[in-house]
Amino acid sequence: MSSNKSKTTSKNSKIFHKTEKNEAIERPASSKPKESDSAKTSEVKISAPKELNLKEMIGIIFDSPDIPDKCFSIIDETTRVSAFLRHRDTNYLDCLEKQSMDPERLRIAVISAIRYGKVLIFDLIDSSDLIDYVERSLNEVNPNLFKELCDFSILKNERYLDYVEEKDGEDFKSFYFTDLNIRNFRVIFLSTKLNDNFLKLGKSFIIS
């Protein structure tokens, strides 16, 4: 009898990921993630992720400015990529930290990554099913922002300038967004867990 009760309790429970500030992001305990809006509206063929080692991945991220694919979903069970990227000059966002998903912080992270030619990293840690939460957070800035980052349409016709506000100051004037820096802009969705919706986000790699 106690066994059945524990199963019921587990089924109806919710999982919380605690942040360093004791804030929590709530996600359902269901093993099947909710289908994202982007997955519903577009049919994306899921290809098997390519296996790379850490050195090869770093080369693609930092040393290949002219590669056509610049949005990546990376599955790294070793956590070596995350550890490495935290110590590089990147715009790193811990998606389990509530303040990282604040719309204003996301807006600044996006335009500064483009302005300075940085890698924009969304680290989902072990929760790739939280990609829907990331999508909703980005779309609070603009309903199309998540899509624009995934397909890089944010760079077309200087669309990124629409996200710049007067309060951002002189450093974000349009003439400071140079082609040289924009070429180095990348978007990375990083997780230690595999998830089909996660693999639809960009060119996929597994780190060995």
**Position 198 in a domain:** yes
CATH of the domain at 158: 3.40.50.300
The answer on pLDDT for 201 being more than 90 is no
The answer on pLDDT for 131 being more than 70 is yes
Determine the structural domain holding residue 128 and report its residue range.
Answer: 43-207
Residue 173 per-residue DSSP state: S
Which of 39-48, 70-79, 91-100 shows the lowest mean pLDDT across its residues? Answer: 39-48
Q: How confident is the model at residue 188 (pLDDT cuts 50, 70, 90)?
A: very high
Smallest CA-to-CA distance from 126 within 202, 12, 27, 54 is with 27
Domain count, the chain: 1
pLDDT digits (tens, 9 = 90+) for 58-84: 888 888 878 888 899 898 888 888 888
Q: What is the pTM of this model?
A: 0.75
Bridge-based pairing state of the strands 24-28 and 14-18: antiparallel
**Position 108 in a domain:** yes
133 neighbors 25 (Cβ within 8 angstroms): yes
**Position 75 in a domain:** yes
Say which residue, 102 or 45, is predicted with more confidence.
102
